[in-house]
Every structure is written in C-alpha cells, then in structure tokens.
C-alpha cells in the first residue's frame, strides 16, 4: 500500500506552546484515517500543516512521496473541509463548488459538468443557485464537501466537519461520508474529538494527546488493546486494575493476584490492566468458569439500561463497572449480592501512563 501522507518528526511550536511534538505517521492511499483526541491535542494543527495553512517548526510533510516544504496551500494536491465550512457567503452554491476549478482555470463547459456532478454527489441538486445563508447547517456541510471533492484532491482533509450538526444529522452524515469515501476512493484524513465517530467511520485511527501521537491502529485494536491509559480511557468506558510488571509476560495486581499478560514493559514498572465493562461477566460467588481470571466482590449498584444491565461491583480494593446483556432469565444480580467477576485475560490489556 502506498503512502498518501507521510509525516516525519513533524513539530509545531506556537511561542512557548508545543502544539505538535515530533510526530511520525504514514497515512495509506485510499484509507479513511482519523486523528482523534481532545481539543487542544494538536490534531487540527497537524491537519493544517498537511494543508499548508500552517508550516511545521521542524520535520517533513510529504504527499504521495513529494516533499511539501514551505509550499503554499494553493500549490498542494489536497483540499480541506473546514469546521466552519468557510463557504463564501457572497457566492451561490454553484460558484462556491466551482471556485477551485475556476482558480485552476478549468474551462467553463467542463467546470459546469464537474460542478453538477459534485452537487448531485452530495444530493444538493436543485439548490445550485442558493446562497450559503439560505441553507441549513447540514446542507452547508454538503456544499463544503462538494466544493472540496469536485477538485478530485489526492487527499481530502476534514476538520471536525460534523461538529456543528445535531446528533441525528451527525449520525446520518457519518454514514454518508463513509459511503462517499468508498465511492470516490480518495484518501480521507478526518479530525475529530468524537471517539464514536472515529470508531464507526475509520479504517485506522491515530489517537493524539498533548501534541503526541499515542497509538495508531484499526478501531478494533485501539478499542480492544489500547497501549496507554489515556487511549483506553478516551475511547469508551473501561476499568483500570492497578498492577506492577513482575517479569516478562506477568503482572501482579494490587491485591496480589498474578496474571499472565504480554507486556513489553520491564519488571517493576507500574502499569494498569484494562478490561472493558462488557468483557467482564458476573457469576454467583464461586460459579465462575475455569480459564478466566476471577475476582470476588459485592454488587454495589444496578442500573437497568434496556438492552443491558450495568453493575458496579466492589472488590476489596476498587470498584468494577460491568455491563451485561439484559436477559429475561433470573441470573440478574441485586445490590448486596455476593458475586464473582471474571474475565478472559485475552480481553485485557496492559497500559502505561
């Protein structure tokens, strides 16, 4: 797979603030890649450096192997969908969408064809002569998308494009964006702080925190096997069991239990074992099956969620959140029940930080 966007040692300082710190990343051709992280983590700055709207303090940005250096945005083979859409308020939809083609001096007949294609692609046919101010947020979003896609960029950069939409529209657009990306086959680099959005749409995710790229992998691996406490916590809910590495492939929990878990950290390193609530199961005391790790505890609280039941269970040194599929049968537990919580060590990960 060839590399669409390559970043090596990319660093960006704003005065004393280090926005992006020595970032290395290869984004593959044709993939839907998300940069995920809380606000201020440097994800948007990274995107802007690819677009050329910001120049790196140090490091190299390449697009399809070509060094971008200090090349201005208008000379880069990428287009951006801005968080605020940045539609030109004094131009109608067709002029907005055709702007890039006009700037590249594409002749009028071809331009009109392409504009019509792009407007149809985002299902905005019939709105070509409206001004952005006459469109809803969702419609403006589509126009911004069409305006970028019509240029057939090698890479499309999207900066929280769904952030301003309400939940329902956002979910619909998530689906449509993914479809669209498959249809046009362009590499998408998508910046978001919404972990659910990143998980549902992306081929791969890069999680950023404090200017650093913490983990790059598929959504499944990031969710099931986070490598740092931040990633585990940021993506979904999880339990952290404090532990210490004793030897290669073994950690000891705070209560003295030993667990065989693969870890690259050396002996004595304080770590945590993370297990997702839905990877824990609750049994009557002593009824847990073999081959699992077991912890005895007492049910603290029960929350019925409709499709699931959330238990909070206190083992002697901490609380565990457990999420069980709701069943009609009587294996439901109640507050005060003495139980055993179990998990398959394959579903646990050792995290640091």
Partner 1 sequence: MDVVVDPGLEHQAERARSRQGFLMGLPAIIYLFVFFVIPLGFVVMYSFATRTRTGRTELAGWNVEAYERLGEAVVRAVAFRSLWIAAVTTLLSLVLAYPLAYFISTRRPATRNMLLVGVMIPFWSNFLIRTYAWRVLLDSDGIFTRIMSGVGLGDGRILFTNNAVILGLVYGYLPFMVLPLYAAIERIDWSLVEGARDLYASGWSAFRRVVWPLSKPGVIAGSILVFVPSFGAYVTPAILGGNKKGLMGSYIVDQFMDARNGPLGSSLSVLVLVVMLMGTLIYFRQGGRSL
What residues line the site for partner 1 (CB under 8 A)? Answer: 51-53, 72-75, 78-80, 82, 84, 86-90, 99-100, 103-104, 147-148, 151
**Min. distance of Cβ 147 from partner 1 in angstroms?**
7
Q: How far is the CB of 68 from partner 1 (least distance, A)?
A: 14
Kindly provide the residue ranges of all beta strands, DSSP E only, lying in 260-307, ordered along the sequence. Answer: 270-275, 281-284, 293-304
Q: List the Cα angle 164/47/148 in 5-degree steps.
A: 65
Residue closer to partner 1, measured from CB, 84 or 314: 84
Instruction: Kindly tell me the burial class for residue 39, based on how many C-beta atoms sit within 10 Å of its own C-beta (0-12, 13-18, 19 or more).
Output: exposed
CA nearest 137: which of 110, 170, 177?
Answer: 170
Q: Which is nearer to partner 1, 73 or 353 (CB)?
A: 73
Distance of closest approach, residue 53 Cβ to partner 1, in angstroms = 5
Nearer to partner 1, 165 or 241 (CB): 165
C-beta closer to partner 1: residue 37 or 98: 98
Q: Which is nearer to partner 1, 104 or 319 (CB)?
A: 104
Residues 6+ apart with CB under 8 A from 204: 28, 31, 32, 33, 34, 216, 217, 218, 219
Helix (H, G, I), strand (E, B) or coil at 324: strand
Residue 81 or 173 having the CB closest to partner 1:
81
Q: Which is nearer to partner 1, 161 or 219 (CB)?
A: 161
CB of 87 to partner 1, least distance (A): 8
Q: How far is the CB of 136 from partner 1 (least distance, A)?
A: 19
User: In the complex, what is the shortest distance from the CB of residue 52 to partner 1, in angstroms, rounded to a whole number?
Assistant: 8
Report H helices in 185-245: 195-201, 219-224, 229-234
Start-to-end Cα distance in the chain: 32
**Distance in Å, CB of 74 to partner 1, minimum:** 5
Listed residue (80, 53, 54, 52) closest to 66, CA to CA:
52
Closest CA to 160 of 27, 52, 44, 19: 44
């Amino acid at each position: 797979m060839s590399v669409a966007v390559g970043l090596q040692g990319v660093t960006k300082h704003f005065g004393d603030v280090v926005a992006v710190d020595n970032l290395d990343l290869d984004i593959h051709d044709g993939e839907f890649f998300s940069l995920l992280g809380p606000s201020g983590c440097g994800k948007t700055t990274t995107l802007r450096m690819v677009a050329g709207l910001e120049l790196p303090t140090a490091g190299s940005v390449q697009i399809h192997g070509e060094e971008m250096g200090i090349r201005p945005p208008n000379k880069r083979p990428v287009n951006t969908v801005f968080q605020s859409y940045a539609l030109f308020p004094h131009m109608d939809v067709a002029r907005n969408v055709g702007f890039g083609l006009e700037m590249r001096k594409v002749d009028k007949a071809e331009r009109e064809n392409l504009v019509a294609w792009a407007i149809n692609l985002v299902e905005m046919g019939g709105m070509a002569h409206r001004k952005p101010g006459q469109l809803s947020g969702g419609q403006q979003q589509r126009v911004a998308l069409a305006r970028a896609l019509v240029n057939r960029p090698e890479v499309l950069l999207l900066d929280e494009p769904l952030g301003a939409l309400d939940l329902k529209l956002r979910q619909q657009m998530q689906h449509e964006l993914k479809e669209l990306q498959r249809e046009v086959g362009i590499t998408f680099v998508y910046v978001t702080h919404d972990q659910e959005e990143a998980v549902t749409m992306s081929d791969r995710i890069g999680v950023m925190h404090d200017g650093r790229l913490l983990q790059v992998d598929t959504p499944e691996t990031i969710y099931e096997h986070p490598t740092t406490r931040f990633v585990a916590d940021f993506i979904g809910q999880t339990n952290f069991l404090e532990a210490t590495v004793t030897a290669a492939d073994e950690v000891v929990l705070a209560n003295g239990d030993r667990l065989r878990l693969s870890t690259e950290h050396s002996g004595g390193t304080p770590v945590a074992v993370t297990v997702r609530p839905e990877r824990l199961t609750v049994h009557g005391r002593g009824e847990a099956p073999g081959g699992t790790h077991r912890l005895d505890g007492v049910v603290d609280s029960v929350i019925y969620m409709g499709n699931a039941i959330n238990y909070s269970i206190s083992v002697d040194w901490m609380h565990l959140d457990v999420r069980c599929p709701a069943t009609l049968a009587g294996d439901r537990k109640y507050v005060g029940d003495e139980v055993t919580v179990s998990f398959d060590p394959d579903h646990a990960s050792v995290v640091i930080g």
